[in-house]
Structure formats: C-alpha cells, structure tokens
Structure 1
C-alpha cells in the first residue's frame, strides 16, 4: 500500500513539475509585444470604467485629467468590452494614416447592426464595404462633386433657404429644420436625382426620422444596450429605433420603386439609377454573391442621406449661433463679403478671396467638434503601435475631441478664434490638426461636397442677414452647451435673421 502511495505522489510531483515548466515556457515564449499592452485605469467587475465616465459625453470624460496620466494610448472598459482610446493629433494621425490598414475596420455596435445588418457603407466591413465605398465615391464625384453641377445645385437651394429665413421677418425662430431641409435636398438631388419641396410630407418624415436616429443612438439607454445587449434589449429607445428602421426602409423602398419604374438605362438621374442599372447587369450575367443587391442599395442610400443631412446642417447651426454670440466676428465676415462678393451670389471660386470667412467656417468645425468620438474603428489584425500590443478585433476610439482641441496644436483650443487659420498677413492657411472629417481609409466620403455646401450656404446667409439673439437676450447669454446625440448639435435655441 505504501508503495502505491509513494508511486502516486511521485506521479503527482512529476505532473506538477511538468505543468510548472509548461507555464514557464509559455510565459517566456510569449512575444514582447503581447506583454506590453497599454496601461489604463483599473476596471470594476461587470461595470468596467463606467463610473468614471459621463455616458452623455464620453469624449469629455476621456480627455479629463483622470485619464491624461495614461498617455495618448490607453484602454478603458465599457462594461466588459475593452476599448482602446487614441488621443492627440500625432497619435490619431499615426494610427489612421500611417497604420491605415491595421486601424481601418469599422466597429459595428449592436444598435447599428440592428439597423443595417452589415449592409451599406458607414457600418460595414469586408468586400461589401469596399465595393459600396468605391461605387459611392465614383457616383458622388459624378453627381455631387463636379464643380459646376454641384455648385449649381447648392446655389439653387440657397435661394429656397433664404426665402424661408425671409418669411420669419426678423422674428425669433429655430434654424434647425430649414437648414436640415436644405442640406437634405442636396444629397437627395445626388441620390434620387431631384430635390423635394420643404412641405412634402414624405420628405419631412424622412428628415425627422434621420434626426431621431442620430439623437437616439447617442442616448444613455442605447449606450447601455450596446454594452449589455441582452440586459437592455427591452429599452424603449431601442424599440423606437427599430420602429424608425421599419418606416425608413418602407419610404426608401417606395422611392426606389418609383425610380425603377421610370428607369432609363441610357440616362442616370442619380446614384440610385446607377445602382439599379448595375443590379440588372449582374442579374443578367448571373453574377454570384453580387454586392449590388436591394439591402446594400437601401442602406447605402440611408447612410448617405443621414450623413449628408446631419453633419452639414449641424455645422451650419453652430456657425449661425457663433455669429450671434460674437457680433464683432460677424461684422468682419460681412465686411469681407460686401467687399469681395457684393450683391451677386457667392461662388466657390470666391473662397481664395475670402480668407476670413473661410477661417470662420473652419473654426466653427474645429470648436463645434460635432463627431467627437469619430465613428469607432476596429483593428483588422494584431498591431504593435507606439510600443504597445493591440489585438486583432479590438475596438478603437480615435478621439477627435483631443485632436481638434489639442493644447499642443491650437493656441486657444477652447475658444472661438478664427486666427487659428490665418497667418500674419491675414491669409488663410490650413492646419494639419484640422481633422473634423477623420482620416485614413474611413475618411468622410462627402468631405469635398460638405466643404462646398458650408461655404456657399454660410456666405449666402451672412450676405443677406444679420443674426442676433432674440429680443431681451444678450449675446453673452446665448448657450453654447451642446445637446446629446451621435453627433453633437447645439442645444435648442432661436435666433433672429434680420435682412440687411
């Protein structure tokens, strides 16, 4: 019996020794990269670092002093999900531009997957995303970025917008809806081939739902659903979002059906026509696994409509609010417009002679910072970045707030200061740290179109109107506190547009 016990103990000792040696071998054989993950704040079980953050403005929490001690690359836990944060211009640029492939995938949160199911452009990856992005870029250039064609569309829409502002007769009103309708019509003309009247019920419903989606996605309840989808799938905001999806798909299908019924393969009216023609060709050629299918069409259209409406309209809302807040800056813009443009319509070619106006537009984009977290990325493979190991499939937030408000790049990062974009001679110059459209593989598709719209809408409005606070409200009392959303608009407010 003793011999059996001794033999058993010997086996146990040998097994423990072998296990210990295997652990040592495993530890020492790990690459240096795998043992140098970036340091970050210690997470709590289940909650992660949520107690250290404001879910309404996660970007502000992440640039707070609490997180600054961890440097420009650090992880946080949103619940159980590990997210790597990139801060500062140099770090964000290095990741998105110098390591464009490694940081080029899109993180698709549960709520956004609920909406697109991986179709479209903004919230897609792989071959489908590559093909849809190529297609959208080609057609945006054809229908929306050719100078004469797109400029004509914007200038035409400026007149409709000015009429709406004139009807207010200098009384206080919200600029939100008119600006949304104007920018929506530019992308509608490109996508569908025609604009809508501002009182068209279907158009009003489409714009309303687009704004609703963007607002709901940024809500605290949806943030919690994204972190704990099984626990918070019941939240009313998610149900609202799903209902929104159903109605949006219904309307887009109806518009596509009308275009399909009147399609002329020899003449494309807009992006949808081009997509339908490509669908027909792939069907006739029996192309297997074609990316040109109904789902990709619906959600490519929806992505373009929402992005083309919200970001430009929100930036314009901020620009007019800043003008009312800072009348001395508005004075200088209007003096320059009067001197350079006079009474004729502003044109794109005027930009080179409007350095101060251009600087004001750029400073609006910088300070307003309407997409503070960017749209989250995901690593496509293991990567060593700034000496730290980041695993494939890691969610990454390139924190645009930290770029546009980088204290090492901007003289007065938290103040509205057009001089950020003017040299000593008053000439406009572009700053490298100006990155409101993001960068790299996922840079905004419509950047050049958005720049054109901002210049023409802003200069046309400032040429015709003086923007002031409502009677009894002082300039210094205008609230610059942003609202909550996936993008960051100003809080609800009214302005007066007084004809000049």
Structure 2
C-alpha cells in the first residue's frame, strides 16, 4: 500500500514537471522575464502589488520589453521612452484593446469608455471626444466651471484662517464637483449624503483593486465569490455608483425636451434618439451609466492626487513657490482674472505643474492594453489577446531622457531663455488611440486650482514641523498618493 502511494506521488511529480516544461516551451517566443512558477506565475518576484520601482528594476535585468506572468496569463511590459513610444504610436491600432479582469467583467460588462473594446469602444470613444468639445473643453464653457470650483476651493482654505488643514477632502470635493457639472449639469457637495456615498464607493473600489483578495479573485473567480470578504462590498459599491448614474439618467429623461443639451447625459440621450433604428448602434442607457462610472473613477482620483502632490512640493520647496507667485504678480498683476491662455505667459508656473505630473506620477503604470492582433516587436512575438502594459512611470523617470529624473526640477521644461519647452517624452496621459480622454480637462483643473491657491495664499508647514519631517515617498496602491499631511494657507495680504 505504501509503495502504491509513493509511486502515485512520483507519477504526479513527473506529470507536474512535464506540464511545467511544456508551459515553458510554449512561452519561448515571448520576451524574457522572471521564471513563471505553476499557479502563481511571476508573483514570487513582483508581489501582488506594484511597488514604486519593481517594474523599472525588472527592466534593468530583462530589457525594455519583458514578460511577467499572473498565474498562466502573460503580461508584456514596455519600459522606457523608446519602447513605450513605439508601442503606443507605431502599434497604436494593434495595442488598442483593453483587458477586462473577471471582477470588472462581472460588474461593468465590457461597456462604457474605459473597459469596452471593438465596435462598442470606437463608438463610445468617438462620442466622448465630440461631446467633450461641445461641452466647452478647452473653451470658455468648461473653463468657467473650473474657475468657479477654484474659487470655492480658495474659500474653503480661507475658512481655516491660517490654521493647519488637511487639503485632501477639499481637493477631492472640488475635483468631483467638476465631474458632476460635466456629467449631470449641476454640483453636488460633501454635505449631500448620496454624494458622500459615491465618493466613498469610488475610493473603496480603487483600494480593493490592489488587495490580495482581488488578485486571488482573478485566478479563482469561481471560489472567491463564494467566500466572505471585501469582494462583495466592492461589488455592491460598483452597483451603487451605477445605480446613482441610472437615477440621474432617469431625471434627465423627464426634462429632456425642456432645454438644449447641457451636460454629458443630455448629449448621450440625444445620441440614443438619433441612433434609433440603427442596428450597429451601441448607444443605450446601460453604456451611458457605465460611461458616467468611468468619468467619476478616472476623472477624480488622479487629478486630486496630483494637486495634493503639487501643494506638498510647494510647502517642501518654498523657493520654487516664491518664484511661481512672483511670476504671476509680475506678469498678471494683482487684479487680473486669470484665464487658461495665461499659461503661455507663465512659463515657470507651467513648468512647475508639468514637473509635478512627471516626478510624482499618480499611477504605478499606464492603464493596461490588449493585443488585438499578433505583433512582432523587436523579434518577439506578442500573440493576439496578450495583455500589454505601457509603463508610463518608467518614461517619466527615464534617465536617458531626464537629467536627475528623481529630483523635482522645473528646469526640465524650460529652455536656456526661460521659455516653456514641450517635450515628446512627457507622456503622463499616454498616447495613441487610447490616450486619456480627459487630458485637457485635467490640465485645466490643475492650472486653475494651482494658480488660484498660490496667488491667494502662501502655503507653509504648521508651526513646529520642519521640511526634513515631510514624507515625500508615496503610499502604494492603485494610485500613488502622498502620506497625509497638513499645511497652513496664509493670505498674501497678511504675510506682507
């Protein structure tokens, strides 16, 4: 009996070894990378989360195109400016797909702007680009809305009367209110219970995506959803946001004929009417609700985090803060109402904002892509259906492109004469067919919020806190945000 068990174990071990060798052979055409082990893949090397430097370190070992494995799923990483540029521009069409995890496949059903593919994505994307323009993105319509939220943010800071305040909630509220106006045509605030629930839900969903439970759920979806845990709360929160969007859609339908289109929902409902009877149309209320979900998730967290970093870096670098304020005073004067075109007259201020986006990029990677056809890249075969991740962080910290890339230095965006210098290797919003739809709006928000705050206040550390105590390392997660901090906003007319 004992011999039978021993033979069975030996046979099982041999079969596992043969299966493992077969898997390695089938993967021989992929770019190199850490040895994938059965079941766990490359997790032994990368961990379940993406630390700030893990992918950059792997690129130094395996090259700028390499492969990691999540279970038996291959993920090709493009690292550094040249590889990412080639992937996103030369192979823009080939890498235009979007991988959908089991969790989001179950909750968002491959619809909306971010996670859809093929014909659905092309229609939703085209509509999104056209509608953003109609809503005044880059023009005075959206500009005025953002300026109003910047005024509200300044008033919130002013109410602290120079005492220490945590800027996180006011910033999140201001950015979220911009999305509300864009989507619904009116503002919501943190005093609104339903709005607080939506913000809490979005934050929980983003945090859940970085947990071990979410990772295990991708490998064993049939098991994880049958066990207790945060996955059920994440699922219910996703439905909460979608339900809120559907309620807003119903309200707009009741008033649809009473006015010209004013917001994203209005324009989408009008598009549904225009497409009625078109068998190829993907414009429907389910896609609309998931577009609203995408706008909230993609349009709040990264912009709010970047603005937090901007304020923290100004507190940590008072000399740079002083230069920004002096430039605005010298160029604009104290009474000029700033507009977005003024960024061209404020090269140093513009450079500071760009440098914040570069050195404190809010995401650990670019949003993953999926190969829609086989690609031969640098002699490596990347099969159709493979996940591809453009590591945008590695581009923004590429030592071949940036001098002392880890240092905060606005001179990266200034020429010898102090003029603002656009750079091709500045890709925080991606490039190609899947470039961030909200890029222009995010830039406008950062410009107005940043300039309005620094023009009104001198930002400084609370009494007794020194610059050496400032923690500039990010908190790891689905986004890299700063550790909690407080600052004092002293009105310039008080500090003179």
Q: CA deviation at 1:348?
A: 0.9
- The corresponding residue for 2:469 is 477
CA distance in 1, matches of 2:47, 2:482: 18
- 2:257 maps to 1:264: yes
Which has the larger displacement, 177-186 or 338-347? Answer: 338-347
Per-residue displacement from partner, 1:276-312 (whole Å, max 9, x unpaired)? 12223444xx333531112101000110122121221
- The corresponding residue for 1:375 is 367
1:310 to 301, 307, 315: 301
- 2:162 maps to 1:170: yes
- The corresponding residue for 1:123 is 115
- The corresponding residue for 1:361 is 353
Per-residue displacement from partner, 1:160-188 (whole Å, max 9, x unpaired)? 11111111112222211111111112222
Per-residue displacement from partner, 1:385-428 (whole Å, max 9, x unpaired)? 11211111001111111111001010011111111111111111
- 2:322 maps to 1:337: no
SS at match of 1:95: helix
- The corresponding residue for 1:187 is 179
Per-residue displacement from partner, 1:409-452 (whole Å, max 9, x unpaired)? 10011111111111111111012111000111110001111111
What does 1:124-273 align with in structure 2 at a 5 Å threshold? 124-233=116-225, 234=227, 236-264=229-257, 267-273=260-266
Label 1:309 to 1:483 Cα distance change in 2 as closer, same or farther (>3 A). same
CA distance in 1, matches of 2:378, 2:211: 33
Q: CA deviation at 1:76?
A: 1.1
CA distance in 2, matches of 1:35, 1:45: 16
Q: Is the 1:175–1:494 contact (alpha carbons within 8 Å) kept by the matching residues of 2?
A: yes
CA distance in 1, matches of 2:376, 2:45: 27
Q: Is the 1:215–1:484 contact (alpha carbons within 8 Å) kept by the matching residues of 2?
A: no
Label 1:345 to 1:55 Cα distance change in 2 as closer, same or farther (>3 A). farther
Question: Which entry has the higher C-alpha Rg, 1 or 2?
Answer: 1
2:380 to 378, 384, 388: 388
Per-residue displacement from partner, 1:338-395 (whole Å, max 9, x unpaired)? 1122223321121111111111100100011112211111101111011211111001
Q: CA deviation at 1:483?
A: 1.9
* Count of residues paired in the alignment: 465
CA distance in 2, matches of 1:457, 1:176: 13
- The corresponding residue for 2:3 is none
Label 1:205 to 1:55 Cα distance change in 2 as closer, same or farther (>3 A). same
Q: Is the 1:221–1:235 contact (alpha carbons within 8 Å) kept by the matching residues of 2?
A: no
SS at match of 2:481: coil
- The corresponding residue for 1:322 is 313
CA distance in 2, matches of 1:410, 1:228: 42
CA distance in 1, matches of 2:66, 2:313: 34
- 2:257 maps to 1:298: no
CA distance in 1, matches of 2:337, 2:479: 31
SS at match of 1:69: helix
Q: Is the 2:138–2:441 contact (alpha carbons within 8 Å) kept by the matching residues of 1?
A: no
CA distance in 2, matches of 1:191, 1:156: 16
SS at match of 1:105: coil
Q: Is the 2:51–2:476 contact (alpha carbons within 8 Å) kept by the matching residues of 1?
A: no
CA distance in 1, matches of 2:461, 2:220: 43
- The corresponding residue for 1:60 is 53
Label 1:488 to 1:220 Cα distance change in 2 as closer, same or farther (>3 A). farther
Q: Is the 1:111–1:217 contact (alpha carbons within 8 Å) kept by the matching residues of 2?
A: no
Label 1:56 to 1:409 Cα distance change in 2 as closer, same or farther (>3 A). same
CA distance in 1, matches of 2:228, 2:121: 30
The normalised TM-score by structure 2 is: 0.90
CA distance in 2, matches of 1:315, 1:240: 28
Residue ranges of structure 1 left out of the alignment (5+ in a row):
1-32
Which has the larger displacement, 206-215 or 251-260? Answer: 206-215
Q: CA deviation at 1:496?
A: 1.8
Q: CA deviation at 1:217?
A: 1.6
SS at match of 1:118: coil
Per-residue displacement from partner, 1:151-209 (whole Å, max 9, x unpaired)? 11111111111111111112222211111111112222122122224422222222222
Q: Is the 1:103–1:378 contact (alpha carbons within 8 Å) kept by the matching residues of 2?
A: yes
Which has the larger displacement, 151-160 or 107-116? Answer: 107-116
Per-residue displacement from partner, 1:8-46 (whole Å, max 9, x unpaired)? xxxxxxxxxxxxxxxxxxxxxxxxx99643222212221
Q: Is the 1:170–1:497 contact (alpha carbons within 8 Å) kept by the matching residues of 2?
A: yes
